[in-house]
Structure 1
Amino acid sequence: MKPMTRQEAGLSARRDGRQQARRKAVAEVGGQDARLLPLVTVAPYAILAVLTVVTLVAKHGSPGALLVDLALCAATALWMLWMFTLHPQWWARPAVMGVFFAGLVLLTGALVVREAWFGFLTPACYFYAFGILPWPGRLAGVAAAALVAGDAQSAGIPRDDATGWTAFAAVLAVNVVCMCGFAWWEWTTETRGQERDAALAQVREANQRLQATLDDNAGLHRQLLARAREAGVLDERQRMAREIHDTLAQGLIGIITQLQAAEQSGDIPDRWRAHFAAATRMARESLAEARRSVDALRPEQLETAELGDALAGVADRWSVLHGVAVRVTTTGAARPMRPETELALLRAAQEALANVARHARASSVALTLGYLDGEIALDVHDDGCGFGTPAPQPAPGGGGFGLKAMRERIEGLSGTLRVESAPGAGTTVSARVPHPAAEAAA
């Protein structure tokens, strides 16, 4: 295959550009389907060519009249070629297309006046009217083309009396009414289609938003279920730890105490002392195992970290999840505490942070753990919107038991929980749990 020259490539590119411009323009002007492109680019020339041949074959009379007809045919072809075919960029300009259509109707009317068979060119006028003229200019264009078509159809009606003129007017009226009615129906159908497409697009968009919301809700539901399962597991582990501590461990401590008291009484025969020592040793080993079981049942955050480190980890994860800065501060010398005390303070911090995420609209949170004389203090302060007194109550069925559970847990350890807030001044949750030095030793 012979490669194209630079000139041939340029001509091909320009030809492709004109074809793309035509398709784009037909799709834009009047909202017409691009499949109608042949009706406005090929059909008018084909009809005009056939009518020109008919004129050459059937025209009888002076050569001058034939030349006038041929000149009008050529002018019509050149008008369509220059104003429409060669300049597709003009198709989207209603003013230019209006001038083109008016000139085409005038040329067609002049041809119809000379020979009635040129009335077959009026379908080309209709093609252009429906293809390129926007509403309401389309209605005026269709009416003008209908007048030309009616003139051609009434060519055989004599107009030398009132009856002839009445018949002529009736033909014109029928053409105008029928074609304008069709144009109106076509426009209303097109408008309804556009409205339907717009409504369907809105419905699709709404469905997409609804699906996105449902997906988000499903994700939140899964998170809530996971948190509920985790909370249930942790609560059950803590309950088991308390049961072991309060029953088995305390019972073993009592047994060890009684055995030691019996050994020290001096009334035990020497042959029994070895058994008492073995029983005491076994009780101590069982107590150590019970205490290891209690430690193993501590919350996950407290398994490998002290309370301060566990609070820092919880705060970091919450900050990443919600995009709110959290500053964690520990004051005083850290000292060991009972597992239930650690768990209560950890749960209080988690619930306070959860309330900040749900209600506060805060930009920062300060979490402070203080080891004070005789007590452990936990303060969670946010710079959010706050609330007045009394605090707003949760909606029925909407949850809201976190603060109540937090208070019950803290008060169950003989501690106190206070919530201080004011509109625009943020909220502070303060938990205080007794922690004497003797407790740490225990």
Structure 2
Amino acid sequence: MRSWQTAGPVAWEQRFQAMVTVVPYVLLAALAGLTVVLSPDFGLDLVLCAVAAVWNLVFFTVHPPWRRRPGIMAVFLTGLIVIGFVLAARHAWFGFYTPALYFFAFRIIGWPREVFYIAGVAVVAGTAQANGSDYGTWAGRLTWLAVVLANLVPMCLLAWLTQLGARYFAIREAALDESREANAQLATALADNAALQEKLLEQARAAGVLAERSRMAREIHDTLAQGLTGIVTQLQAADHAAGDPVAWRRHHQAATALARESLTEARRSVNELRPEPLETGRLADAVGEVAARWSARQGIPVQVTVTGDTRVMRPEAEVALLRTAQEALANVAKHAGDAGRVGLTLSYMDREVALDVRDDGPGFDPAARTGGFGLEAMRQRIEALSGTLQIESEVGGGTGISACLPAQLPEVPA
């Protein structure tokens, strides 16, 4: 039911409250005064006006909770319609009281029962407008009926259109509420997703830091720690050979050579922390520069070959491949000192970019090799970017390392 408390905006309800509190009484008072002036027999009319006012006061004005009870409101409006009909039948000017009756019928009785009360008010209005017709003749009766229908049809049609508008408004409000709820849920989901992405990014950064620390720890263990151990061993041997100048000089020269090698390895490790070649050129140029420096330092020729159309890759991919090249060349220097040449090939393919480093050194048996973490560090770095690392070697047959990364890496959450 479209009760007066819930239907329509707050401002409209406030106006409705003022209307039902004042307007019916003002109309009754004005019409009663007009009856006293125009009708010599006004006693019954004044009594009926007083009854209508008291009826309105008792059932509606002083008992607001009764307005939520359809049964009481039906009795209330039926009584007003009956009183209004009697007054309209006596005097035509009481038709001016019907706006108050229409107002009550449209507002306090729910659909579809309100149609019957609207029809009753239309009868009151038609009776007032046809007042003076000769109801003893068919012409008078038909005139009254026509006037009643002229009031009833448009008012019932208005009630139906009002109901359609109310339904449309309710459906629209429900849709808006659902939309607001969906937007709120979407906003919450987006906020949760952003928080999750931030958390994943932090975890990825932390994992990258830990991986790099692990790699550097392995590198230090395999280079600096072993070099320092060798230096200490040679110095201790030199102390024991203090009485033998030739032996002392040999151990001293060995310790000096180990110190120089350890210093070189330390500088190489520091340089790997910041791949400067990538800051000034593409990956192909950076790999060529690294290979040239290594060749000049080790005295081993390196042939660099680039195939396919060079293109810019994501920074983490270029860094991974450059570090792989540096690590592979360092392994050649450490484990393949007898190598006569090294080949380094960078291949740009449609969906992949591959780096191959091969030497003609003594090689090794991958299944039997233990110790050292350089190869494992390379594998972890490449596989972390959805790539693959393959190692091919045999005793006396050289060593080949092949790293392959997808041309387009999966997006990192941002």
Name the TM-score class by shorter chain: 0.5 to 0.7
Aligned equivalent of 1:26? 4
Aligned residue runs from structure 1 range 13-412, under 5 A: 26-28=4-6, 33-34=12-13, 35-60=15-40, 65-260=41-236, 268-269=244-245, 276=252
After superposition, the C-alpha distances for 1:31-67 in whole angstroms (9 at most, x for unaligned) are 984131122111111111110110011113xxxx311
User: CA, structure 1 residues 269+197, in 2 after alignment: closer, same or farther (shift >3 Å)?
Assistant: same
* SS of match in other structure, 2:174: helix
User: CA, structure 1 residues 265+31, in 2 after alignment: closer, same or farther (shift >3 Å)?
Assistant: closer
User: CA, structure 1 residues 31+133, in 2 after alignment: closer, same or farther (shift >3 Å)?
Assistant: farther
Q: In the aligned structure 2, how far is the partner of 1:268 from the partner of 1:221?
A: 68
User: CA, structure 1 residues 29+100, in 2 after alignment: closer, same or farther (shift >3 Å)?
Assistant: farther
Shift of 1:226: 0.7
Shift of 1:27: 1.6
Contact 1:118 1:152 in 2 (8 A): yes
Shift of 1:272: 5.3
TM-score (normalizing by structure 1): 0.54
Regions of 4+ moved over 6 Å = 29-32
Contact 2:127 2:148 in 1 (8 A): yes
Q: In the aligned structure 2, how far is the partner of 1:174 from the partner of 1:53?
A: 29
Q: In the aligned structure 1, how far is the partner of 2:244 from the partner of 2:144?
A: 143
Shift of 1:237: 1.2
TM-score (normalizing by structure 2): 0.57
Q: In the aligned structure 2, how far is the partner of 1:162 from the partner of 1:31?
A: 48
Shift of 1:188: 1.4
Q: RMSD of aligned C-alpha atoms?
A: 3.8
Shift of 1:255: 3.9
> Which has the larger Rg?
2
Contact 1:40 1:131 in 2 (8 A): no
User: CA, structure 1 residues 150+30, in 2 after alignment: closer, same or farther (shift >3 Å)?
Assistant: farther
Counterpart residue identity of residue 26, structure 1: W
* SS of match in other structure, 1:91: helix
Contact 1:30 1:130 in 2 (8 A): no
Percent identical: 48
More moved, 97-106 vs 36-45: 36-45
Q: In the aligned structure 2, how far is the partner of 1:151 from the partner of 1:31?
A: 35
User: CA, structure 1 residues 272+262, in 2 after alignment: closer, same or farther (shift >3 Å)?
Assistant: closer
After superposition, the C-alpha distances for 1:246-292 in whole angstroms (9 at most, x for unaligned) are 12222332344455556656894179569939958x96xx89xx9xx
* SS of match in other structure, 2:34: helix
Q: In the aligned structure 2, how far is the partner of 1:251 from the partner of 1:270?
A: 23
Q: In the aligned structure 1, how far is the partner of 2:106 from the partner of 2:9?
A: 10
Q: In the aligned structure 2, how far is the partner of 1:161 from the partner of 1:37?
A: 44
* SS of match in other structure, 1:26: coil
Q: In the aligned structure 2, how far is the partner of 1:30 from the partner of 1:235?
A: 66
Shift of 1:221: 0.7
Q: In the aligned structure 2, how far is the partner of 1:223 from the partner of 1:153?
A: 79
* SS of match in other structure, 1:28: coil
Q: In the aligned structure 1, how far is the partner of 2:126 from the partner of 2:37?
A: 25
Question: Across the two proteins, how many residue pairs are aligned to each other?
Answer: 268
Shift of 1:243: 1.0
Where does structure 1 lack aligned partners over 5 or more consecutive residues?
Answer: 1-24, 294-400, 406-442
Contact 1:108 1:122 in 2 (8 A): yes
Counterpart residue identity of residue 192, structure 1: Y
Q: In the aligned structure 2, how far is the partner of 1:207 from the partner of 1:223?
A: 24
